[in-house]
A and B are shown apart, each in its own frame.
Chain A
Amino acid sequence: MSDSPPAAVHPALAELFGGFVLVSISGFGGALPWARRMIVEQKRWMTTEEFNETFALSQFLPGPNVINFSVVFGSRFGGPAGAVVALAGLLGPPLMIVTVLAVLYERFGGLETLSRVLAGVTAAAIGLLIAVVAKMAAPMFLMRWNSAPIFALLAFTGVAIMHWPLPYVFLGLAPFSIAFAWFKR
């Protein structure tokens, strides 16, 4: 997107907090698309390229991607204080909402009606997740002479079929996956 103007606007801490609060409560089914909208399109705090670069970093780091993103983004503009403020804005409101839901669920979770509705929603939510996997997998499986599908299948098998603990699977595969990526070029 070469037509997007250079991002030279530097947000103040209060603005940073407010921006991430808005992202957190408008985001449904993940907060990423809303973060991109706010940061690149509305506030112009970053260009598309800067956003993609920053998000790529948050994505390969362990832990929740959007949470990582808020920390990386916040620290870039406001150091440690910026990171804390962005994180608090992104996590605060959803945490309050979900706590209310948790209380309600503990009280009414046994109700037949509620569990029926949730069964339907869960089935749909799994479908969404499968679509995400398919979109991620398509380019990887179309490339020829590529070790990536093998590592994806090994990680899947170890966790889903063998029920091995995640740390073992990760530590067993990551060095080889990185080594293959190193020698590929």
Chain B
Amino acid sequence: MTFLLNDEQRMLRDSAADFLQGQAPVALQRKLRDEQVPAGFDSGVWQQAIDLGWTAAIFPEQHGGLEIGYQGIGAVFGLMGKHLSALPLLSHVVLCGELLLRTGDAAQLQRWLPALIAGEERFALAVDETGRHAPQRIATRARRDGDGWVLDGEKWFVVDGVGASQLLVVARLEDQSAGLFVVPCQMEGLQTSGLQVSALQMVDSRNSAHVLLQGVRLDNAQRLTASDVPTALGAALEAALDRARVCLAAEALGLTREAFERTVAYLKERIQFDVPIGSFQALQHRAARLYVDLELLESCVSAALSAIDQDAPDLPLLASLAKARASDLCEKLLNEAVQMHGGIGVTDEFDLGLFVKRARMIQHSLGDGLFHRNRYAALKGY
């Protein structure tokens, strides 16, 4: 395991730092919100990210990828957290890209992966059906119908689902095993029959969808074939989810660190009782404890990213460790940041609120602290 970035990963990080600061700063997030952009992100910025190779970074060269690895893309997620940059990188590349790579047969890979990397198609994963993340609890059904399949069910909080061209849908088969289907949002130029994708308006103003499937008919070629072996799909789903959890934890780290630095700066400049409020020990000790939590989180995120790149067997454990800590800190640090800012911290004009809202969505996305402590315990065997 290494906690250090290699040259290539450092270059990716440095170019991402310039790009996001210039093209997708906090001000853009505010603008996207105020203008109620349905996609929740700026399509021009997304196109530039694709041109920079971000959609190719994690894939093997044989599939047109750049093989920069997760320590590199993890640094990009950290910067997206810092600048509150909204991009469908997690949903499209990490969740759907990893799943396609792991469950598609040769023809399916050829059909979808280059299009994913080039951004010609935009994918989103429809897995959760309730407010709390529960990837094992799937009620959506897929039943055989001649040569094809018919899907019925309901999916909630599909990240970046609005405007996606393809949905990866997890459904339960008649024998109770899980299946994975590529559901096109349009067929022959028309909206896919029986499919309804509607926008959910969430606090972070990003793209979240409700998906209703009522008798959606699919060819057999739309079913990702590795799902023929039930355990293989479960493993592929967990592998993709774990990678995404670690990337979300990296985004959380970047976000919380930025909110913390803004708060510490405020403690130094805000004068009350004729002194900077940061000279009060009651606030100093609280700030110091947040710093400790940030440093611990950084170690966990960095170790988990490294574990992905090295295909380490303890990745699930490290992913849950990182996401649990990230989720908890998203709640604790942002609440403290607001309290330490006082009145200005709860005004809409001040950017801190945007950080709070994004942090709390990250907290609950793909499992909160409780979910991941429970999983960590199960992985440890107690």
Do A and B pair up? The answer is no
Query: Which B positions have Cβ atoms within 8 angstroms of A?
Result: none
A residues whose Cβ falls under 8 Å from a Cβ of B: none
